[in-house]
């Protein structure tokens, strides 16, 4: 699947995939067991690696980061993994925002990314 993202979306996705790496790994192990959890986590890492590689190729000197799009190529399993992560993570952040009253700046962006991926994958 081809997913078109701007530099800001790629940066936010890279950041959140990486800060959640250890909690996601533990969650997969708990949910799927040691063997299956490892397989699912390797898929998560492959998505993260593709996003990081895409971020590395962005010309950071450009001023219009929102208007320039870059293509992220994912297979069906990677799309499912990314959809599941973003859906769970966005809901978790929204719940934290409601409970604490602290606004998370990237929340709207992550929700929009979730919708974009679901739309493209449908």
pLDDT, tens only, 10-20 = 999 999 999 99
Q: Which of 15-24, 28-37, 100-109 has the lowest mean pLDDT?
A: 100-109
DSSP state of 71: E
| Predicted pLDDT of residue 61 | 61
| Predicted pLDDT of residue 63 | 62
Give pLDDT tens digits for 37-82. 999 999 999 999 999 998 888 776 656 666 788 899 999 999 999 9
| Predicted pLDDT of residue 105 | 83
Q: Which residue has the tokens 């929009």?
A: 112
Q: Which of 31-35, 93-97, 103-107 has the lowest mean pLDDT?
A: 103-107
Token pair, residue 48, equals: 């993260």
C-alpha to C-alpha distance for 111 and 94, rounded to whole angstroms? 9
Query: Residue 35, SS3?
Result: helix
Is residue 100's pLDDT more than 80?
Answer: yes
Q: Where are the alpha helices (DSSP H) in 60-106?
A: 76-100
| Predicted pLDDT of residue 1 | 86
Strand partners, 73: 2
Token pair, residue 116, equals: 């974009």
pTM of the complete model: 0.86
Is residue 88's pLDDT more than 80?
Answer: yes
| Backbone conformation region of residue 2, classed left if phi is above 0, alpha if psi is from -120 to 50, else beta | beta
C-alpha to C-alpha distance for 24 and 21, rounded to whole angstroms? 5
């Amino acid at each position: 699947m081809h997913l078109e993202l701007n530099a800001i979306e790629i940066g936010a996705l890279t950041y959140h995939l990486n800060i959640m790496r250890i909690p996601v790994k533990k969650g997969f192990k708990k949910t799927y067991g040691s063997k299956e959890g490892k397989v699912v986590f390797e898929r998560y890492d492959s998505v993260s690696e593709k996003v990081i590689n895409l971020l590395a190729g962005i010309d950071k000197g450009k001023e219009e980061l929102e208007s320039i799009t870059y293509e992220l190529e994912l297979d069906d399993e990677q799309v499912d993994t990314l959809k599941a992560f973003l859906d769970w993570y966005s809901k978790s952040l929204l719940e934290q925002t409601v409970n604490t009253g602290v606004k998370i700046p990237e929340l709207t962006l992550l929700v929009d990314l979730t919708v974009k991926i679901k739309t493209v994958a449908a």
